[in-house]
Amino acid sequence: MNRPQVIPALDPLYADIRRRDPVRPAVLLDVRERDEFMAVRVEGSLFIPMSQLGARVDEVPKDRPIVVICASGSRSQAATGFLLQSGLTDVGSVAGGIDGWQRLGLPVRHGPVAPGEGQLPG
């Protein structure tokens, strides 16, 4: 019998610490849709909408931890499960999504999306 997959849920404060780690920073993967990303986003995040993740999974770095965020935590759990099934091992979902992120006063950006925003450098 197969056991259900456990999806790691990360507190937004811990997720922010992970992405700022000076030795091995996590990639914050935003899986919301474009209009949601344009309204509010975390600076430095990688933007791949959930609707495109299957086709673009190769763009997700395999050599860094991945922290997945959505609006409230549901899509990020599904995306985390997909990434774990795809062979990534250090993946977690931000509990409460960007809503929880903002409630804790963590930094976000609003307004027009700058060129290159939502892509990883390099």
pLDDT (tens digit per residue) in 49-76 = 999 999 999 999 999 999 999 999 999 9
- Which residues are registered as beta bridge partners of 93? 9, 68
113: closest CA among 29, 28, 41?
A: 41
**What pLDDT, on a 0 to 100 scale, did the predictor assign at position 3?**
55
Instruction: Find the mean pLDDT for residues 84-102.
Output: 96
The single residue of 10, 48, 69, 70 carrying the catalytic annotation is: 70
Compute the distance between CA of residue 47 and CA of residue 34 in angstroms, rounded to an integer: 9
Candidates 3.30.70.20, 3.40.605.10, 3.40.250.10, 3.30.1310.10; CATH matching 25-110:
3.40.250.10
pLDDT band at 5 (very low <50, low <70, confident <90, very high): confident
pLDDT (tens digit per residue) in 27-45 = 999 999 999 999 999 999 9
Compute the distance between CA of residue 73 and CA of residue 95 in angstroms, rounded to an integer: 5
| pTM for the predicted model, two decimal places | 0.94
69 is catalytic: no
In three-state secondary structure terms, 62 is: coil
**What pLDDT, on a 0 to 100 scale, did the predictor assign at position 80?**
97
Compute the distance between CA of residue 94 and CA of residue 122 in angstroms, rounded to an integer: 25
